[in-house]
Structure 1
Amino acid sequence: MDHPKITEEYLEPASFFDIFNEEDFFLSNKKLEGEFVEKQIIRHPIIEQTIFEHVTFSECDFDKIELTDVIFKGCNLSNCFLTEASLYRVEFQNCKMIGVNLDKSYFNNVVFKNCMLDLSNINEANLKETSFESTSMKDMSFNENKLKQIFFDDCDLNKMTILNTKLKGIDFSSCRFETIDIEEFGIKGLKVNSEQATFFAKYFLEIKVSY
């Protein structure tokens, strides 16, 4: 997996509102820290080689946002609309993203690490070389997605909904859930641990397991 190509010492301190200085809503080679961005609506903003650190986006709508070589550290993007986003070499580290909407987006070399994605939406998306690491994904909607080289490590998947999505080759064994809404055809080729296998046996086959 490729990481964002950023040389931090060459980044210029900036404000998110500098994006309005460009007619095409463009930010590049910037570092933004400790900023509060509220109720902004921008269609197709383009951000490249930029680090966001402890930035809060509140009730923002960035439809068709395009991110290339971008890192978010300790940011809050909860309830933001990022529909039809294009993410290339993007990392979210220790970010709060509850209820974020990433429907119909394209992911290529994207990392979510120690994030909160509870109640979020990633539907009808195309995900390639994307990893979810130590991330909470409770009550998340993850439907009708195309997946290629997707990794889950130590994630909370409780009450997650995964419909019309093939999970062949994916490994859930290090993750946890009490219940999950999933289709039988979707779990073919999915790697699970013994506890998860017992859950699916009960869920699909109504098998009673004795111990």
Structure 2
Amino acid sequence: MEDKKIKTKVSKPKFEFDLDIIELSGENIVNEMIVSNGIISNCYLENHEAECMTFKKVKLNKVIFNKIILKRLELIDVSFQNCDLSNIDFSKAILHRVEFINCKMVGINLSEATLREVTFINCNSKYAYFRYSNCKQVVFQQCQLISADFKNSLLINVEFQDSNLVEAQMNFTNLRGIDFTSCDIEGIGVNIPDINGVIVNAMQAVDLSRLLGLTVK
């Protein structure tokens, strides 16, 4: 899908003209470490934990994170492409101008995270955990969000395009103005107040009518 079809204004990450090659290893993953102005590629990291790390103006390509915990992480102008972030713990992270492209993000933990101008494009984010996240100007495009958890989240100028939200949980999240018409939302978990002002197509409206106890023939 072409970027011009995205309605939500989201700035792309901003990078320096010349980026250094960064060798990321366990020695780099320590509390309050700053990684900046570089490219990290073809890297495998396993069983590391740190808090308050910062990645600024960094491109990551084909990086695999396995059993990594990076709580209170700060990502500013960062691009993840073809990376595996499955089950990584990014809880309470701050993301500003970040993009995830063709990434595997099954079970990623972004609970209580703050997302500003973030794009997810063609990502496998099944079971992703966004509970209590604060999202403004965020786009999910052609993503698998099956059983993802957005409970108690703040969604402002958040766009879902051609994404699979089957059995995603969005209870206690205000969905006013969210357009689901291009998505599969079968079995989505919501409360009646949550869907006031949501944008759906006719078939989706029939599915959501179950919340009102209606039987549509």
* TM-score, normalisation: structure 2: 0.92
1:3: which partner in 2? 12
Q: Is residue 157 of structure 2 the alignment partner of residue 145 of structure 1?
A: no
Question: Per-residue CA shift, 1:160-189, capped at 9, x if unaligned?
Answer: 111111000110001013211111100001
- CA–CA separation in structure 1 for the residues paired with 2:52 and 2:32: 8
- Give 5+ residue unaligned stretches, structure 1: none
One-letter amino acid matched to 1:2: S
- 1:23 and 1:144, CA in 2 relative to 1: closer, same or farther beyond 3 A? closer
How many residue pairs were aligned?
208
Q: Is residue 181 of structure 2 the alignment partner of residue 176 of structure 1?
A: no
Once the two structures are TM-superposed, the CA of residue 17 in structure 1 deviates from its matched residue by 2.4
> Secondary structure of the residue that 1:34 maps to in structure 2?
strand
One-letter amino acid matched to 1:98: V
Q: Is residue 75 of structure 2 the alignment partner of residue 90 of structure 1?
A: no
Q: Is residue 30 of structure 2 the alignment partner of residue 33 of structure 1?
A: no
* Equivalent pair of 2:30/2:50 in contact (CA under 8 Å): no
Q: Is residue 207 of structure 2 the alignment partner of residue 199 of structure 1?
A: yes
Select between 144-153 and 9-18 the one with higher mean Cα deviation. Answer: 9-18
Q: Is residue 72 of structure 2 the alignment partner of residue 64 of structure 1?
A: yes
Once the two structures are TM-superposed, the CA of residue 21 in structure 1 deviates from its matched residue by 8.8
- Give 5+ residue unaligned stretches, structure 2: 1-9
- CA–CA separation in structure 2 for the residues paired with 1:48 and 1:88: 10
One-letter amino acid matched to 1:182: V
- 1:21 and 1:99, CA in 2 relative to 1: closer, same or farther beyond 3 A? closer
Once the two structures are TM-superposed, the CA of residue 20 in structure 1 deviates from its matched residue by 2.6
Q: CA RMSD in A?
A: 1.5
One-letter amino acid matched to 2:192: E
* Equivalent pair of 1:11/1:29 in contact (CA under 8 Å): yes
- CA–CA separation in structure 2 for the residues paired with 1:133 and 1:21: 30
One-letter amino acid matched to 1:68: I
* Equivalent pair of 1:19/1:27 in contact (CA under 8 Å): no
* Equivalent pair of 2:113/2:132 in contact (CA under 8 Å): yes
